[in-house]
Structure 1
């Protein structure tokens, strides 16, 4: 075992030896052991004295043996064993003459183990006056050293001062006093003392190291260089640091070439090189064109929050610019600009930042507009100011935050033509995004503002008319929509790519105005020359042409157009076939109608038009005097769709048909079943009136009254006149006074269970939805579904109730409501609402098979609104991916990701990139995620997720600097507050 270095003479009293050293008896072993201890042959001493312990020594001999064995262990460096032996010795020999030395030796164990605070406490318990001269010197030296290590400079200095006159510790005392002055920054006194020590032995041999550091710190680079070269091989552990001093001194003396040689050796030999050395080395690499090495070397320097760290960011940014990596350049240059240490570096960094921006660089949510304005405020007279002012205009458009861009433009008192052009563009983009997000009123204001700037860009102003028309159409203002679409067609060029779309939209707005002839002309233009419109739009136009002919009673022409619609888009042809059947019926071709209805039902068994088709089929049998067949269909209808309005109507028509067949008893029972099963429905009121007449004819009105009284909530014999008058007044106020609801609430309060309560509650629920009051919407909708489950209002109420439950996070409850709505919905819009709700809740609950099923049903129908189609497609793709059908999901995501202004386009782009990354296709993942972050999508959450994924890709590719800088920039600039974004950032940075 390696022996411990002894800094002092040993302070032990050696027992006089009376026996011969070579005697074989116990005294001989004791004599030999103590002599070996005195000669520092500690292993020999341990061997001799251990043998003595085996020979039945007396108490004095055992005490001496134990004492010297313990000290031998101590000076061999076996500190743990020595401590145990010394503590045992104190316990076994409390009156020993060696007690003071034993206590001192335990303190020494702490000292040698660098437990300076504990060692100092033990030394302080020992009275120095009780020690002999040598031991007292050891005592003061070790206390002084411990105090120094504990940063108790003054106390340490005093202790070392008391040792200056001693022979053994004079040199060490002067050295450590010099070191303390060095540590305190008093270099003059440090130099005086350190220069006076003997450098041939420890610790004086370390003096040149500190003298070199002082020379370097004081800027005496010639002296520092000379001393570093001399001290470089004095103490091996100091060699790397001396290489650094030599290298940095040479750099400051202008000899960069030789400086780099030393610094390369220093960095290679050091696990944690100093930033100053890395900075010099990195700058040299940059100058010599070793750009990758420069970025790697300068990377750690950027952790310094000072001028050097700022300059390191500048060099890294410039290196990336030279490599054409403008995105990473932006990250570094932005950091250099935002660090406020060196104004020239700041100016240069900003100019290079502008260059990178001009070349299309991106930063996560970095506001270039804000930076440019800040720069002009700070440096209005900068040589770069003209270039920055010019770039400020284009910066509005390249920056992702259009709201802030607009606010910046509004603050300009005298905007130039270029600024106004930018403002028009910003308003146009914000309007399109507001409309995509459903903020129709806000979108309309944006487009009108952009149109008002028509002198800047007439073509864009004309495009605004198309969007203004869409806004008015969504608000139900068809006349205003028609005017906007007409203006677009009047002022747009003949080759405008959106002319046919505007013509199609104009057809719909005129259709909404019930100007069917003019609407038909618009749709006919679309089908004759669709341009870039898809086949589904053309098919829809044929459907609307058919509708227009239908309203004009031109049934054969209507049927012909429904045929064309079906042939173009048979996958979603249920409406076309159904309407074609209706035309046959209107032409009194009931057999033809039946054939088409049967064909439609076989082709589209999940169509939302199935209840209506069965009802029409039964009525066709009635028209053909095939009452028995009609009865069968009516029974099938009420069995399959009993809770729909068509099902309830089927019950009613079944009763009427049975009555016409003379099946009076069955007819009465059917009427009663309608009333008993659906007492709050309109069909129950009709059935009640019919049943009342039948009983009246039979003279059994008393029986009728008893029956009606036995059915809870059955229609009353007479409606209260005041009930109706009150409701009509409330309804009028609601419809004509901006959806005022106070009178409706008053009606519900005054007439609970009134004749018109379902309709009043329906109005209140709708008003609450439009006002964004989900709690009231849920309350009113629940009242309808519980009190009037069979009313027509109950369908819409179920839709409202499900949406409110879903918005409140009650997924399972919402799912049950949407399932109920699907089973009883008669209107296509409610069938779609039910299926959309089921899909959304199932997606959130992880029921992915149900998501795919509902999505397939909706996509197979023409009833799906275009505004929701992307959500359905995205949800289907997401569910397929979760079910392990990634290839199918990728195809759908790729199509949706073509439009990242749409929320589901942005989400699809992200999940497409994440899917490739998770499956090891890093190149594809990077391509897709870069498309997302370059898209300027307004959906900031998914843009942030894209930047985080891009960081993951960089990290996996070994590019640590860019990976971290993207995250740091995102953390500083992300405008959202979603906690998961910041959690993901922090996890990766850690």
Structure 2
């Protein structure tokens, strides 16, 4: 509250002796030396008159000098004039504000304590302090003045000035006493005393006394600018709201001279009066004036709530949010109440996601238990409506509500919501756990249990967790309410077993599906025969597989083109496996006519069928198919086999030069392929047939050098033996040809390998070590190291396994080179040695004959190049995999994900976004990451509204993928900061910190909370007005 410090008129107190008295006194002096005395007295008289004249004219500097001259010439220090001169000189010093003035006054009082001027001197110093606003000193000084010796008007003035001094020093009790004495009678200082007395009454919580006083002086010109706000405040304090409304409204409407600060305060009080009477429409304009006029720290939580709630009642939802958000930061009942109403504002604005967040915050505070209960229910209800599962999802919220408020009138409603949540929740495992807690499982609950078990099983299957998926598919049949769903659980069990390569159980599950009552109703029914046929095919039960495939082909010719074509191909493979080559050829022909995918495989298989058939011109047809592979599919995995098989057939047809040319192409273009050693043996055969012994011996030398320990050397020896005998070259035969110790070595090796093949790795490991120690250059070194790697890998000795694989790769190419390259690449990748992994993936690409390994080499190279910061090469490999039509869809999706990452890193945002958008439909971790990256791209481009929506989709659809869910919520906090929605940013960050204990998440949220707090603090900083800016300019 401002105080009006009054400036009182100066008072000068002195005594002036009459001139006649002075003359009479002089007549008593002796007459001798009268002339001399008369001259001196005349001079002294003139000095005195000059001093007094200057003093009367307020010429204090001159007067003080002349008084001091008078004092120095005075012969009687005790004379009245001498004393008066001391007094007046001190008063002059006081009026001139000399530093020693106070000292001179005190010295005078000490020297002349009985002087008639002592009281005047005490008054003068007190009044001096008062005028200089040294109120502590003035209060003490006025106490020294003898009140009873003063005239009545001076007594009144002293009481006022001393009372005012005490007031300024906040010694209200003493001030009140003096001021009240002044107020007893009319006269000077009455209005001013009334003002300060009323002020003290207001401070002492006596508003009615204050009000009466302020109203008594409201028309006084000195207080017209101050009293109105005090009257308003006292009317407010005495709860005279009706009077306040009238008084304040008229004052604001009819008085233009009120300054802005007073206008703001009166508007706030009037608005509050209407607010307390719940007249919100009437309160609104006054509170808005007050809010606009209040800046910075003046906008306290209580005031912000009042304005926000009034706007809320006026259905001004956006405006209400602005004010209520300031109050919601408070950890008290008011903050909880504000948060609750913020939630309702968001409901009215149809922003249910933000409303849910606010209800969650209100429910977490226990200041108002009624609000706490209602907020928790609404939080749970919105969580259900939004299908949105961050941390405390709808299931948890409703369960918590039921447990916390078992006697609530909403208990049954909450229970019904909970049952619906079970059906729609995407966090199936937690939903099932909650369902398990319900003892009385009525048909509705049973139906929910069945559906959730099914969905969880599918989710686990998509994530590659086949073992647990099978368990959940089994649970689907615990309550077979829906026969179709029960049947489909068998189908998905079959798919899971198939993915685990447990083809026997897969076969049984597919059969159970087809036999189930609801199976025929399922969209999967046509695919069941196809899937069963495939599992039988994998078990080499070709006759049964044929039956299943042909049943599918006969029953569903139009069901699925890709599946139909593949069933035809597998039918051909079954006939081939049963050695019914003519029938196999017929089906391979059908596949070629339908232009099925994998034409190179079909051509190769048909060529091999021709090679075994007895059809006329079969060998020529075989060569034609193999040549077609070489011409049309130069990058096919069958190129090496096509060269090799066509060369052997040409040997059989005695087209030796052609055969030789094909083998040489194989050796030159694929020197590290496993077929190399067999091709060298065939070259020996061609050389013998063409009678070119020197060429044969040269090739034999290559075989001895490279494959002296390989059984292939023995095959070659059987061909060249006559030539060696003829040339006398039977000494120094390679170990593989000799017989010494061979049988022992073979038995030791086979015993070790058989254990490894049977999966008895722990027993196989020491046997393989023993073999390699005894036969460092044995016949099976390459194979032994390969199986050793398998055993070490099973024993979790990744480094040992890697070295064993690399040993195989250091030896000449063999049938174990491809698998070892894959193993070495995988292990190197797993330990994070990407350079090493890349070398092995590139070798795998060179030696691979299996399509899956070709793809794996490309994907592995892509990943390694990416992590080695070579995006160009990574992009080339990823694109190669992606555009290859024969690439399985699951692998294509992986390539697309990496293409998205690479394009994003390179700043090719449109291309990245296209890939990520194409992947979200597939679910799983790929879908989760893609959804997150879409959100990130939208955030980067400051498209905060869509970024917010995308994050909601992420946490709704992929709530079980914690890494991406947590990243999504951190991005959501940043998005709210981008939207300048500090309330939602804080609420989301606090929710994360309360519910996620992952260290990196906590650190990220802590950093964001610091940013939020800085921005919140900035909101409370006073804003400079134009007037303040102008004032600063003037000061400059």
Tell me which of 866, 878, 895 is aligned to 1:872: 895
In 1, Cα distance between equivalents of 2:169 and 2:948: 64
1:839 matched to 2:839: no
Using the TM superposition, give the Cα deviation of residue 762 of structure 1 relative to its aligned residue in structure 2, in angstroms.
3.2
Partner residue, 1:461? 486
The corresponding residue for 2:843 is 820
2:668 matched residue in structure 1 = 639
Partner in structure 2 of residue 475 of structure 1: 500
- Contact (CA 8 Å) 1:645, 1:826: kept in 2 or not? no
Q: In 2, Cα distance between the equivalents of 1:770 and 1:215?
A: 88
Q: What's 2:358 paired with?
A: 332
1:934, distance to aligned residue in structure 2 (A):
4.0
Structure 1 residue 256 corresponds to structure 2 residue 285: no
Task: Verify the 8 A CA contact 2:469 2:496 in the aligned structure 1.
Answer: yes
After TM superposition, the score normalised by the length of structure 2 is 0.71
**Deviation, structure 1 residue 509:** 0.4
Q: 5 Å matches for 1:126-275?
A: 169-174=165-170, 190-191=204-205, 236-237=260-261, 239-272=263-296, 273-275=299-301
- Select the residue among 626, 629, 652 that pairs with 1:623: 652
Deviation string, structure 1 residues 624-679 (Cα, Å, up to 9, x no partner): 21111111111111111111112333233223322332222222322332343456
Contact 1:466 1:484 in 2 (8 A): yes
Q: Distance in 2 between matches of 1:810 and 1:8?
A: 91
Partner Cα distance (2:171, 2:557) in 1: 93
Answer yes or no: is the 8 Å Cα contact 1:433–1:938 preserved in 2: no
- The alpha-carbon deviation at position 487 of structure 1 amounts to 0.8
Q: Is the 8 A contact 2:484 2:521 kept in 1?
A: no
Q: Deviations over 1:694-746 (max 9, x none)?
A: 545644332436xx6xxxxx88764555554444444444444x644244235
d(CA) in 2 for partners of 1:938, 1:693 = 71
User: How is 1:392-403 mapped onto 2 (pairs within 5 angstroms)?
Assistant: 392-403=418-429
Residue correspondence of structure 1 range 61-460 to structure 2 within 5 A: 169-174=165-170, 190-191=204-205, 236-237=260-261, 239-272=263-296, 273-362=299-388, 364-451=390-477, 453-460=478-485
Classify 1:648/1:214 alpha carbon distance in 2 versus 1 (closer, same or farther; 3 Å). farther
Using the TM superposition, give the Cα deviation of residue 393 of structure 1 relative to its aligned residue in structure 2, in angstroms: 2.1
Q: Tell me how far 1:550 sits from its aligned partner.
A: 1.0
Question: Aligned partners of 1:771 and 1:202: how far apart in 2?
Answer: 98
Say whether 1:765 aligns with 2:794: no
CA contact (8 A) 1:432 1:443 kept: yes
SS of aligned partner of 1:341: coil
One of 635, 642, 645 as aligned partner of 1:613? 642
SS in 1 for 2:480: coil
Kept after mapping to 2: 8 A contact 1:606/1:857: no
Q: How many residues align?
A: 845
1:513-552 → structure 2 map (5 Å cutoff): 513-528=539-554, 534-552=560-578
- Correspondence for 1:489: 514
Matches of 1:527 and 1:953 in 2, distance apart?
54
Alpha carbons of structure 1 residues 760 and 704: separation in structure 2 relative to 1, 3 Å: closer
The whole-number CA distance in structure 2 between the counterparts of 1:295 and 1:205 is 36
CA offset at residue 837 of structure 1? 0.7
Give the alignment partner of residue 631 of structure 2, picking from 602, 609, 625: 602
CA distance in 2 between counterparts of 1:869 and 1:527 reads: 28
Query: Do 1:187 and 1:214's aligned partners in 2 also have CA atoms closer than 8 Å?
Result: no
Distance 1:583 1:858 in 2: 30
The Cα of 1:390 is off from its aligned counterpart by: 1.6
What's the CA shift for 1:912? 4.2
CA distance in 1, matches of 2:558, 2:310: 58
Gaps of 5+ in 2: 11-53, 63-96, 104-124, 139-158, 176-199, 1014-1036
* Structure 1 position 381, deviation (Å): 0.3
Report the 3-state secondary structure (helix = DSSP H, G, I; strand = E; otherwise coil) of the residue aligned with 2:786: helix
Mark the CA change 1:445 to 1:358 in structure 2 (over 3 Å): closer, same or farther: closer
The Cα of 1:327 is off from its aligned counterpart by 2.2
Asked if the contact 1:334–1:350 (Cα under 8 Å) also holds between the matched residues in 2, the reply is: yes
Alpha-carbon distance in 1 for matches of 2:499, 2:921: 24
Map 1:698-737; keep pairs closer than 5 Å: 698-704=727-733, 718-719=740-741, 721=743, 723-736=745-758
Aligned to 2:825: 802
Task: Map residues 917-932 of structure 1 onto 2, 5 A cutoff.
Answer: 918=940, 931-932=953-954
The alignment status of 1:909 with 2:931, answered yes or no, reads yes
Corresponding position: 1:668 with 2:697 = yes
* Rounded Cα–Cα distance in structure 2 between residues aligned with 1:656 and 1:742: 42
Cα separation, partners in 2 of 1:633 and 1:394, compared to 1, 3 Å: same
Look up the SS of the partner of 2:832 in the other structure: coil
Call closer, same or farther: CA 1:889–1:505 in 2, change over 3 Å.
farther
The Cα shift of 1:547 comes to 0.7
For 1:638 and 1:969, how far apart are their aligned partners in 2? Answer: 65
Q: Matched residue of 2:922: which SS?
A: coil
Is contact 2:989–2:1008 with CA below 8 Å preserved after alignment? yes
Aligned-partner Cα distance in 2 for 1:265–1:889: 52
Deviations 1:599-630 (A, max 9, x none): 22332222222222221222232222111111
Residues 361, 987 of structure 2: 8 Å contact kept: no
| Separation (CA, whole Å) in 2 of partners of 1:231 and 1:291 | 31
Q: Post-superposition shift, 1:386?
A: 0.5
Match of 2:963 in 1: 941
Q: Which runs of 5+ in 1 are unaligned?
A: 11-30, 40-74, 76-95, 102-130, 145-162, 180-185, 709-713
CA contact (8 A) 2:674 2:817 kept: no
**Contact 1:828/1:863, CA 8 A, preserved across alignment:** no
**Corresponding position of 2:84:** none
Distance 1:447 1:819 in 2: 41
Determine the structure 1 residue equivalent to 2:588: 562
SS where residue 438 of structure 1 aligns?
A: coil
Paired position in structure 2 for 1:654: 683
Instruction: Describe the SS at the equivalent of 2:169.
Output: helix
